[in-house]
Amino acid sequence: MFYRARKRFGQNFLQDARVVRHILEVLDARPGEALLEIGPGRGAITRGLLRAAGGLIAVELDRDLARELPRRLEGLGRLQVIQTDALRLNLADLPDPGPFRVVGNLPYNVSTPLLFHLLEQADRIRDMHFMLQREVVERLAAGPGGKTYGRLSVMVQARCRVEPLFQVGPGAFRPRPKVESAFVRLLPRHRPVYEPAAADCFEVLVLRAFSQRRKTLRKSLRALVPDGALEAVGIDPRARPETLAVEDFARLAAAVECAPL
């Protein structure tokens, strides 16, 4: 069937067999694993995953692609396609209890909200492997001190280990995206870096600090953190947010009371 890629669904289909092979190698899917693919599209990755694991659940927003996929991959394994928006996906409602190995060449226009949505359900996830815009992977993996380190790095690293795996050029996709891509592995931690009771406070502090990243922490956090609280947990109030490690934010969140956002 002729199919025109839909820009609004972020459709850039993988068409480089070497890249697909590389993805399948690093995933190393095994029979019996609970695989969940986000945005299977025309099945570039799905095909190999089905062969390796014998079954998977795929969540696809595009009605036409969702309808077509089982026909395309008929006979390769137990494929369950759920036609819905992955941003609304509740892992607890899926016909498999997990823990899931989540994989996707993600639509770049929704990749960050999707990451946050999945992280909220990280207790049901064993690992995640995503193709993302290279710049997003750099931000996910960045350590303190640089320009790429920010809210996304801190929020994700607090809950996951981030392993950038390899880079992929625009020529691997049809249509060609305007950006470079990279494949990344995220391994949820057993427990987040922050105290569970301080989760909301951690989020508020990180958001506030990085929304005014050129200000000192004393200024940007003035409304949330009482005088002396930064010094009390060993943080220089004149520091800027990008110099703080994830653990610094966690220590601060445990030490102060935050009003909700």
Q: Which residue from 86, 152, 201, 258 is in contact with ligand SAM, where contact means CB under 6 A?
A: 86
What CA–CA distances, in Å, run from 206 to 44, 220, 228, 260?
A: 37, 10, 18, 13
Nearer to ligand SAM (CB atom), residue 7 or residue 238: 7
166 binds ligand SAM (CB under 6 A): no
Q: Which residue from 87, 92, 179, 207 is in contact with ligand SAM, where contact means CB under 6 A?
A: 87
Nearer to ligand SAM (CB atom), residue 57 or residue 59: 59
- Angle, CA of 198, 201 and 203, to the nearest 5°: 110
The position carrying tokens 């609304």 is 88
Query: Quick one: which H or E segment has residue 259?
Result: none
203 binds ligand SAM (CB under 6 A): no
State the Cα–Cα distance between residues 149 and 171, nearest whole angstrom: 28
Instruction: Quote the least distance from Cβ 31 to ligand SAM, whole Å.
Output: 21
- Phi and psi at 103, nearest 5°, equal -140, 150
- CB under 6 A: which stretch of 37-45, 183-191, 206-214, 239-247 binds ligand SAM? 37-45
CA 139 to chain CA centroid, Å, is 11
Q: Which residue from 27, 33, 41, 253 is in contact with ligand SAM, where contact means CB under 6 A?
A: 41
105 binds ligand SAM (CB under 6 A): yes
E strands within 153-251?
160-168, 173-174, 181-188
107 binds ligand SAM (CB under 6 A): yes
State the Cα–Cα distance between residues 195 and 250, nearest whole angstrom: 7
Q: Which residue from 34, 49, 57, 59 is in contact with ligand SAM, where contact means CB under 6 A?
A: 59
Q: Which residue from 10, 48, 150, 192 is in contact with ligand SAM, where contact means CB under 6 A?
A: 10
Instruction: Quote the least distance from Cβ 84 to ligand SAM, whole Å.
Output: 7
Which of 116, 135, 115, 113 is closest to 181 using CA atoms? 135
8 A C-beta contact, residue 10 and residue 108: yes
Binding interface with ligand SAM (CB under 6 A): 9-14, 38-42, 44-45, 59-62, 65, 85-87, 105, 107, 110
